[in-house]
């Protein structure tokens, strides 16, 4: 029995490889299997699936080029970041079309790696305190647009994620 199973497996592998010849033959519409007794069994190919009337359409791709509008606005790490009038709101992040503005630095949108209507992963050219650097960041709106999660990637990136709340 074991020998017969091994012969069937080898035969199946040989048939699979034979189909990779790169010739101009028409592809078979049935699958063939050589059985242990050297007979050939065929299984008809399943019929092509018809489009489902209840299938939901794919979401439209986001073809924008800037930071998604769902991420625009003022975001605070703590409530006082949104309400301070003394300029001490060190956790405030303001996002516009192609800019991230922090307490002591500004990031300008560069190469976009991933983008949809409520998320972006991109490189930002950062400047602040007399220095310049590039940082890959992922910005992700959550909780119906009330929470922003920011993650940094790369050398010298801040570990973990920061969670901001949208300022009213």
Q: Containing domain of residue 132, as a range? A: 69-166
Residues 79 and 20 in one domain: no
Number of structural domains found in the chain: 2
User: What pLDDT sits at residue 62?
Assistant: 52
User: What pLDDT sits at residue 15?
Assistant: 35
Residues 98 and 162 in one domain: yes
Residues 85 and 30 in one domain: no
**DSSP assignment string, the chain:** -HHHHHHHHHHHHHHHHHTTS--SPPPPSEEEEE-TTS-EEEEEPPPPPPPPTTPPPPPPP----SS-GGG-EEEESSHHHHH-SSS--TTEEEE-SSEEE-SS-EEEEEEEEEEETTEEEEEEEEEETTEEEEEEEEEEEETTTTEEEEEEESTTPPSSEEEEEE--
Specify if 53 maps to a domain.
no
Q: What is the pLDDT of residues 99-153, one digit of tens each?
A: 999 999 999 999 999 999 999 999 999 999 999 999 999 999 999 999 999 999 9
Non-local CB neighbours of 68 within 8 Å, separated by 6+ positions: 62, 115, 116, 117, 118, 119, 120, 141
Non-local CB neighbours of 35 within 8 Å, separated by 6+ positions: 8, 41
Residues 92 and 145 in one domain: yes
Residues 121 and 157 in one domain: yes
Give CA–CA dist 68/52, Å, rounded.
Answer: 32
Question: In this model, does residue 40 exceed pLDDT 90?
Answer: no
Whether 132 contacts 139, CB under 8 Å:
no
Question: In this model, does residue 79 exceed pLDDT 50?
Answer: yes
11: confidence class by pLDDT, cuts 50, 70, 90: very low
Over residues 61-88, mean pLDDT:
89
Specify if 77 maps to a domain.
yes
């Amino acid at each position: 029995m074991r020998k017969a199973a091994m012969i069937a497996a080898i035969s199946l592998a040989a048939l699979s490889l034979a189909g990779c010849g790169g010739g101009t033959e028409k592809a078979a519409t049935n699958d063939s299997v050589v059985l242990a007794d050297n007979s050939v069994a065929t299984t008809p190919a399943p019929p092509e699936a018809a489009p489902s009337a209840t299938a939901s359409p794919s979401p439209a791709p986001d073809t924008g080029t800037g930071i998604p509008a769902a991420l625009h606005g003022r975001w605070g790490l703590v409530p006082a970041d949104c309400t301070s009038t003394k300029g001490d709101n060190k956790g405030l992040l303001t996002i516009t079309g192609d800019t991230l503005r922090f307490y002591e630095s500004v990031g300008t949108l560069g190469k976009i790696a991933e983008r949809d209507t409520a998320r972006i992963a991109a490189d930002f050219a950062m400047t602040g305190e007399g220095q310049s650097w590039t940082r890959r960041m992922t910005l992700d709106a959550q909780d119906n647009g009330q929470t922003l999660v920011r993650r940094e990637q790369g050398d010298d990136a801040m570990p973990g994620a920061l969670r901001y709340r949208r300022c009213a």
